[in-house]
A and B are shown apart, each in its own frame.
Chain A
Amino acid sequence: TKLINCLIHFYKRDFVMSGTYYFVIVGHNDNPLFEVEFSSSGREVRKDDHRHLNQFIAHAALDLVDEHMLRTPNMYLKIVDKFNEWFVSAFVTASRQRFIMLHDLKNEDGIKSFFSEMYETYIKQVMNPFYSINTPIKSVHFEKKAQFYGRKFLTG
């Protein structure tokens, strides 16, 4: 944890701390299928800077997500973990694909709506005969939808 705290400190310096979101869809093999970041600061979020840390936090939360998943019939699991200033919210689909959201503002309604819309988008993606489940999603259409809903429900 000392190492992690050092990393956090390092990132905090140039990290705008309000309204930043990191969304990842995690497959059955704990592999990321889709990742995207949103920031309401308007500043371009440099993906590489924080991507590794975000992946780490999301991965660490998976066990908790799996535990919560078994305890509730709901797909939306709300906040399942907290890591320093990061909240981890989760949403589990009918086929046990895990949607993870790292965020530093609560915004429960926005996140819930975002999850729901991305779930619809994910269902359409799965219906594509050329897409294999549990593989990375490379569809331009899917990315556009994620950007659209991110602006609509998360960053505004």
Chain B
Amino acid sequence: MSRPGSRLTDTKKVSGELFSLTYGALVAQIVKDYQSVEDVNKQLEKMGYNVGVRIIEDFLARTKEGKCADFRETAEKVQAAFKLYLNMSPTVTSWSAASDQFSLVFEANPIAEFVELPDNYADLQYSNILCGAIRGALEMVHIEVAAWFAQDNLKGDSVTELRVKFIRKVEDTVPAGDD
């Protein structure tokens, strides 16, 4: 699974399938626990947020780069993070005119690899944890964003598109609390 010498830091790699199955079991359990699909989406986003606020430290430690000059650089960093942590290579596209919104487009979504959404969960945002993670991570570097899925392979779209919108710079220090 892990090739020797491919990473400078010692990380223990886990099979992608195991990760997908674990995440799937998690989502299935949350779906059983909560009554409404909206609640499930919120929970997944919250969980993602909690992952994001922690993982940003690790990301910055590994990449050792400085501040982003503008939102476009931020987008590139987010793209790099997907490659680093999930071995996913989204393309950054669909910039808004004011350069405050962009899309990450994934050809395929490995964490939803074997998933078929049942009819009664048609509104489930299965990978909402990713949206939360982006929101949490960027909040820690004082950028408030909103992230959501504009398109989803699981819902029949040809690609999965995650849209990120810049809301504002956070001037005060954000307390790193759990929601």
Contact = CB atoms under 8 A, between A and B. Distances in A.
A124 interface: yes
Most buried by B among A124, A131, A139, A141: A131
A10 interface: no
A142 B109 CA distance: 20
Contacts of A131: 116
Interface string A49-68: 00000000000000000000
A129 B121 contact: no
A124 to B, nearest CB: 6
A94 B116 CA distance: 23
A128 B31 CA distance: 14
B4 interface: no
**Majority secondary structure, B binding face:** helix
Interface in A31-84: none
B34 to A, nearest CB: 14
Contacts of A128: 24, 114-116
A130 B119 CA distance: 11
A128 B114 CA distance: 5
A23 B41 CA distance: 39
B143 interface: no
A130 B27 CA distance: 9
Nearest to B25: A129
Contacts of B175: none
Contacts of B5: none
A130 B121 contact: yes
25 contacts: A124-B114, A127-B17, A127-B20, A127-B21, A127-B24, A127-B113, A127-B114, A128-B24, A128-B114, A128-B115, A128-B116, A129-B21, A129-B24, A129-B25, A129-B28, A129-B115, A130-B31, A130-B115, A130-B116, A130-B117, A130-B118, A130-B121, A131-B116, A139-B116, A141-B116
3 closest residue pairs by CB, A with B? A129-B24, A127-B114, A129-B28
Interface of B: 17, 20-21, 24-25, 27-28, 31, 113-118, 121
